[in-house]
Structure 1
Amino acid sequence: MSVDAAPVDVTIVGGSYAGLSAALQLARARRSVVVVDSGARRNRFADTSHGFLSRDGEAPAVIAAHGREQLMAYPNVRFVEGMADTVSRGGANLIVSIQGEKIAARRLILATGVIDELPSLPGLQERWGRAVFHCPYCHGYELGQGRIGVLATGENSFHQAMMLPDWGPTTLFANDVFEPDAAQAAMLEARGVEIERQKVVALDGPKATLVLEGGRTVSLEGLFVASRTRMASGLPAALGCAFEEGPLGPFIRTNEAKETSVEGVYACGDAARSAGSVSHAVGDGVTAAVAAHKSLIFDVH
């Protein structure tokens, strides 16, 4: 399919919280916007979302659906369901290909998100977002100050274990992956964190019962894992966007206006920060959209 002669103002790849937020700002500026979305939100495994003002405790899908419903009330917005395959330059425009359709735009916002890479442990994946979490601000309060575990995945697990006692009695499961040094061990002890060195071999039970080598079990209200992340889309790399290496994985490098190293391309949400949440994603979307809009007016990048 050929590219339409008249480009839209902005194409946004990613229709979750950051992408919807960016689209809303541009729609209200009366700019033409296309949102491309594959429908795979990072928090789709969680039953509820927390910490986002006015939507605390709602299902993630409900928040996203309500945002999309409000956005689509603007006649200058088009929503395309599907995976963006490629992006290329066409003169001054950026051309996104979605399953054969090509959309040209003057600016591009990447809200493509990340994928969590979880430890290979029987029973963990199916409890992700329900009894196994990565963010205490998102899920810690609902554990009711019950017993909490941290499954070590590396040095970042020390930071996680230091934070979690504010939400409940905490045990760090070293799991042959992380051994705190003397200073770290003293800090953990001061926070009341116990260290369990018996290896975890599986998760069982309705919540997060850890099965240790030898058969001993430890029942928890919740287990936290500092998951590694990777880009959910190959578009940022294909465009030549520069990346930063964060504590949990790479993310797209942006300036304070959320512009990437590639002219005319902006990025927001989890793909463009070292750690994220729904609230962060929504704020990032606003920043990226306002910057993209100003660049259309003043023709600056």
Structure 2
Amino acid sequence: MAEPKENVRDVVVVGGGAAGLSAALILARSRRRVTVLDAGTPRNAPAQAVHGLLALDGLSPRELLRQGRDEATRYGAEIVAAEVDDVARTPRGFTLRTRDGAVLHGRRLLIATGLVDELPQIPGLRQRWGRDVLHCPYCHGWEVRDRAIGVLATGPMSVHQALLFRQLSEDVRFFGNDQQIDERDRMKLDALDIPVVTGRVAGLEVVEDRLTGVRLDDDRIVPVETVAVASRMAARADVFAGIGVTASPHPAGSYIAADETGRTPVPGVWVAGNARDLSAQVGAAAADGARAAAHLNADLVAEDTDRAVARLLDAGVVR
């Protein structure tokens, strides 16, 4: 039996971060019935503040989300704290089941689940992540300017990361971590006076809850105050595999492919934010959510109009 029309949302948004809430705000202001399912695990939760966000620089991530939820619900959006367990296609759109057993129905689906930072298995990295272990010079670089910064080699973007942090401090050193550095990259490091520390990184040195150095496998300790590491950024996509949405490989991790509007190859499914664009900061993710919402609404308007025209034709009304 078909789900009653009144129980079907126009859009179900999975993910209550900047992209998902921004999309919900735009859709609710367009008088769409929209529900956001938020698992409550934002990527930037360990960070003390959001930076580089115009007019809101320095606001805590949780306060940003609180204000975003208040704004979206003011216009009628529904925010539900729940983790999606299963997604299936139906004749009218999609059915989503949450881990606590709730079932929601939506005509369209917007994926705004973000990504997961997968860190190297080096003791101490995860515990210090978002504090004095960082990855983005634009998010937190100003806060560590002029400090002793160590950049850990973890992949193809590590040298580029070292060059970016060198803009912020004259005291930057590159930990090779037993990885091969090609001649051209070594020349770049040498040209900017970034010394290369040889040997495998064994862990971090922490004294009184303060990062003081990087420990190598030969027990050398190289003093640093901040560590920069390029994480592998993996889109949260597993739960959508049943409807044909899977993550695509990327040199820095994985992402969900879509066109410039956020429309995926799977009919009725859009994606926005970090799940689509690994490099998006909070402001860019929010803008991406707004853009996807506008195109989603236009798609629904087109479908509603086509149905209205079909009803006129079925009734024999011709003008």
TM-score range relative to shorter protein: over 0.9
The whole-number CA distance in structure 2 between the counterparts of 1:194 and 1:239 is 49
Q: For residue 296 of structure 1, what is the amino acid of its counterpart?
A: L
Q: Which amino acid aligns with 1:211?
A: R
Q: Partners of 1:274 and 1:79 in 2: how far apart?
A: 25
Measure, in 2, the Cα distance between the counterparts of 1:129 and 1:175: 21
2:300 corresponds to 1:296: yes
**If the length of structure 2 is used for normalisation, what is the TM-score?**
0.89
1:59-208 equivalence runs, <5 A: 59-75=60-76, 77-98=77-98, 99-168=100-169, 169-176=171-178, 178-205=179-206, 206-208=210-212
User: What is the aligned partner in structure 2 of residue 218 from structure 1?
Assistant: 222
- Report percent identity of matched pairs: 37
Q: Which is higher, the Rg of structure 1 or of structure 2?
A: 2
- Contact 1:236/1:252 (8 A) holds in 2: no
What amino acid maps onto 1:190 in structure 2?
Answer: A
Aligned position for 1:253:
257
**What secondary structure is seen at the aligned counterpart in 2 of 1:210?**
strand
Alignment correspondent of 1:35: 36
Closer/same/farther in 2, CA of residues 200 and 287 from structure 1, 3 Å limit? same
Could you tell me the TM-score, scaled by structure 1's length? Answer: 0.94
1:232 is matched with which residue?
Answer: 236
Q: Structure 1 residues 4 and 240 mapped into 2: Cα distance closer, same or farther (>3 Å)? A: same
Output the aligned Cα RMSD.
Answer: 1.7
Task: Report how far residue 4 of structure 1 moved.
Answer: 4.6
Q: Quick one: which amino acid aligns to residue 277 of structure 1?
A: Q
Deviation at 1:245, TM superposition (A): 2.1
Shifted more, 41-50 versus 271-280: the winner is 271-280
Please report how far the alpha carbon of residue 275 of structure 1 lies from its aligned counterpart in structure 2 after TM superposition.
2.0
Flag structure 2 segments of 5+ consecutive residues without an equivalent: 305-319
The structure-2 alpha-carbon separation of the partners of 1:160 and 1:273, relative to structure 1 and needing over 3 Å to count, comes to same
Aligned residues: 297
Aligned to 1:265: 269
Displacement of 1:233 in angstroms is 4.2
- The answer to whether the 8 Å contact 1:3/1:103 transfers is no
Which residues of 2 match residues 10-25 of structure 1 at below 5 A?
10-25=11-26
- Sort the Cα spacing of 1:263 and 1:185 in 2 relative to 1 into closer, same or farther, 3 A: same
Q: Secondary structure at the match of 2:65?
A: helix
Cα offset, 1:231, TM superposition:
3.0
